[in-house]
Amino acid sequence: VIVIFVYQIWDDIDSFVRILITLGLGLLFTIIGSVLLKKKPEDNIGSIFHLIGGLLIPGGAMVALSELNIDTVSLWPVTMTFGAIFLFYLLLNFIHKSAVLTFFAIANGTAFIYLLVESIVEGSFYLHGDLYTYLTMIVGMSYLLLASAFRGGWNKSLVGVLCFFGSLGFLGAAFSRVFDSVPWQMVYFLLVIGGLFLSVYMRSRAILAVSTIFLLAHVSYITSEYFAN
Mind listing the pLDDT tens digit for each residue in 117-166?
Answer: 988 887 655 556 688 899 999 999 999 999 999 988 889 999 999 999 99
User: At how many degrees (to 10) do helices 99-121 and 129-150 cross?
Assistant: 160
Listed in sequence order, the residues at least 6 apart from 172 whose beta carbon sits closer than 8 Å to its beta carbon are 136, 140, 214
Q: Is the dihedral of CA 137, 201, 189, 172 positive or negative?
A: negative
Mean pLDDT of the chain: 90
What's this model's pTM, rounded to 2 decimal places? 0.89
What is d(CA 199, CA 211) in angstroms, rounded to the nearest whole number?
8
pLDDT category of residue 112 using cuts at 50, 70 and 90: very high
DSSP designation for 10: G
In angstroms, the CA 74 to CA 200 distance is 45
Q: pLDDT at position 153, please?
A: 86
